[in-house]
Amino acid sequence: MLWSESFIHTLKEAPEAAESISHKLMLRASLIRMLVSGVYSYLPLGFKVLKNIENIIREEMDKTGAQEVLLPGLQPQELWVKSGRDEQMGETMIRFTDRRGRKLCLGPTHEEVITDLVKNQVRSYRQLPVTLYQIQTKYRDELRPRFGVMRACEFIMKDAYSFDVDENSLDKNYRKMFAAYETIFKRCGLSFLSTQADCGVMGGSESCEFMVEALSGEDRVVVCPGCNFAKTAEDGLTNCPNCKNKLETKTVIEVGHIFKLGTKYSKTLEAVFAGKSGEIRPIVMGCYGIGVSRLIAAIIEQNYDKNGIIWPREVSPYDLLIIPLNMEHSRIKELAFKLYEDLSGEFNVLLDDRDERPGAKFKDADLIGIPVKIIIGEKNLDEGKLEIVKRRDNIIVAVGKDSAAAQIRKTLEVRDG
Ligand code: ATP
Ligand code: MG
């Protein structure tokens, strides 16, 4: 992509309403724009990051054997009355009546819909286990939308649901998902911890939250400095039950949540199957959520410096940013376009072909955080060289212009986030 033709609109200052680092940077780096409070548009750079995260999640979900579906955002309120969660959801659920008088809502989550779907397809133990997932927009009328996409009223979630014959089989699925979540968050460039969590509105027996440490986190956990024990802070624990250490409190963002639901929904919504000897039993369920759009903010909270975002390699909107320092210099311009063409087949390349001062280009480059920059300037070029600069550590390597493509390939292969 040529910067001059792109829809990238960086801002020198973040609007005053933006409080958290990630919210400010997402606005300034031209990732999102607010429509109304809690509702955001994704601009091309933001949407690229979102798709990269979605692809990581898809790959890891597919590896577990889960199958992707797409469920409706429009749901009948009646299903929620049946499951007993209608009142519990209260004003968080956006409800309305359509022109035929049907009472509908915009799905805040999908346990009800998926249980209803599976109940009508699965009859026998032979059709189990099965795990389905989707990546889809959820609607919640949050009491306090905050921090941009971190707590929004319209946001993107990955939600998976497992259906098993018994607790044993559920346990296997739960562990598989736990492992997949670890891989997903690592690939997103996050350092995270996992807690034993309260089951909250979902109900069930075992659950675990995946938390990312960040200043703007709305949740608190207590962690043991000696072992990997972590728990939500509400439990009032002060010492680690395993090693008696004093627990430390950390501010965190919840990015994922996995639950053993058991038969809570299958009983109320009558999702049953016939076992080996013909006995009728409720399906044993698990559910597994990831805040996909919230992840963008969480990744930024852990990957930035005073100049802007530093994208981990796998989620970055572009692999590479070519910066010719003077577009009026014909050899600089020529080399920039040649590299752009040579590398574009292999990598996602952004070329800053704008007629801007070098200072302005450097500022924008640091702000949008592409992990590798190629800088083409007059002095270096006179010696037949250009510079490869890593955004994270600012390590500069000067290379001969003819070996540049090979060197860039080498730099990009190193997966150091
Ligand atoms: P929270 O406690 O933060 O309100 P939750 O426990 O209600 O979240 P879940 O129903 O477990 O959320 O949803 C799964 C994931 O979706 C959460 O782990 C979180 O990452 C994300 N999520 C939940 N609510 C929002 C929101 N309003 N905006 C963005 N992401 C959200
Ligand atoms: Mg949760």
Q: Is the pLDDT of residue 204 over 70?
A: no
Q: What is the pLDDT of residues 46-69, one digit of tens each?
A: 999 999 999 999 999 999 999 999
Chain mean pLDDT for the chain:
94
Determine the atom of ligand 1 nearest the C-alpha atom of 145.
27
pLDDT for 417 equals 46
Ligand nearest to the CA of 192: 1
pLDDT for 415 equals 55
What spacing in Å lies between the alpha carbon of 49 and ligand 1's midpoint? 19
What spacing in Å lies between the alpha carbon of 312 and ligand 1's midpoint? 23
pLDDT for 414 equals 66
Domain residue ranges of the chain, discontinuous segments joined by +: 3-305, 318-412
pLDDT for 44 equals 98
For the chain, the straight-line distance linking the first and the last C-alpha, in angstroms and rounded, comes to 22
Q: What is the mean pLDDT of residues 265-290?
A: 98
Q: Which residue has the tokens 């049953």?
A: 272
170-184, 200-214, 260-274, 395-409: least confidently modelled range: 200-214
Helix (H) or strand (E) holding 368: helix 358-368
Q: Which residue has the tokens 């929904």?
A: 265
pLDDT for 201 equals 47
Q: Could you tell me which of 359, 356, 362, 364 has the C-alpha nearest to residue 326?
A: 356
Largest CA distance in the chain: 83
Q: What is the mean pLDDT of residues 169-189?
A: 97
What spacing in Å lies between the alpha carbon of 390 and ligand 1's midpoint? 34
User: What's the CA gap between 44 and 327, in Å, rounded?
Assistant: 24
Q: What is the mean pLDDT of residues 85-114?
A: 98
Ligand nearest to the CA of 252: 1
CATH 1.10.10.10 fits 318-412, yes or no: no
Determine the atom of ligand 1 nearest the C-alpha atom of 295.
20
Determine the atom of ligand 1 nearest the C-alpha atom of 109.
10
Q: Whose CA is nearest to atom 11 of ligand 1?
A: 257
Which residues have CB atoms below 5 A from the ion given as ligand 2?
257
Q: What is the mean pLDDT of residues 310-314?
A: 97
What spacing in Å lies between the alpha carbon of 244 and ligand 1's midpoint? 32
Pocket test for ligand 1, best of 138, 193, 254 (most atoms within 8 A of CB): 254
Q: Which amino acid is at 184?
A: I
16-20, 157-161, 262-266, 276-280: least confidently modelled range: 16-20
For the domain 3-305, what is the CATH code?
Answer: 3.30.930.10
What residues line ligand 1, using a CB cutoff of 6 Å? 109, 140, 142, 151-152, 155, 157, 254-257, 289, 291, 293-294
Q: Could you tell me which of 110, 99, 265, 298 has the C-alpha nearest to residue 192?
A: 298
Band the pLDDT of 235: cuts 50, 70, 90.
confident
Ligand nearest to the CA of 197: 2
Pocket test for ligand 1, best of 135, 136, 234, 294 (most atoms within 8 A of CB): 294
Q: Whose CA is nearest to atom 13 of ligand 1?
A: 289
Measured at the alpha carbon of residue 69, what is the angle toward residues 178 and 138, in degrees to the nearest 5?
A: 75
Q: What is the pLDDT of residues 237-274, one digit of tens each?
A: 888 988 889 999 999 999 999 999 999 999 999 999 99
What spacing in Å lies between the alpha carbon of 7 and ligand 1's midpoint? 30
Q: What is the mean pLDDT of residues 207-213?
A: 95
Determine the atom of ligand 1 nearest the C-alpha atom of 151.
28
Q: Whose CA is nearest to atom 8 of ligand 1?
A: 254
Q: Which amino acid is at 97?
A: T
**CA 84 and chain centroid, separation:** 30
Q: Is the pLDDT of residue 196 over 80?
A: no
What spacing in Å lies between the alpha carbon of 307 and ligand 1's midpoint? 29
CB 157 within 8 A of CB 136: yes
Q: Whose CA is nearest to atom 3 of ligand 1?
A: 254
Q: Whose CA is nearest to atom 1 of ligand 1?
A: 254
More confident residue, 339 or 414: 339
Q: What is the pLDDT of residues 319-374, one digit of tens each?
A: 999 999 999 999 999 999 999 999 999 999 999 999 999 999 999 999 999 999 99
Determine the atom of ligand 1 nearest the C-alpha atom of 202.
10
User: What's the CA gap between 136 and 106, in Å, rounded?
Assistant: 12
Q: Whose CA is nearest to atom 25 of ligand 1?
A: 151
Ligand nearest to the CA of 290: 1
What spacing in Å lies between the alpha carbon of 256 and ligand 2's midpoint? 7
Q: Whose CA is nearest to atom 4 of ligand 1?
A: 151
- In 275-308, which positions are buried (b, 16+ CB within 10 angstroms) versus exposed (e)? eeeeeeebbbbbbbbbbbbbbbbbbbbbbbeeeb
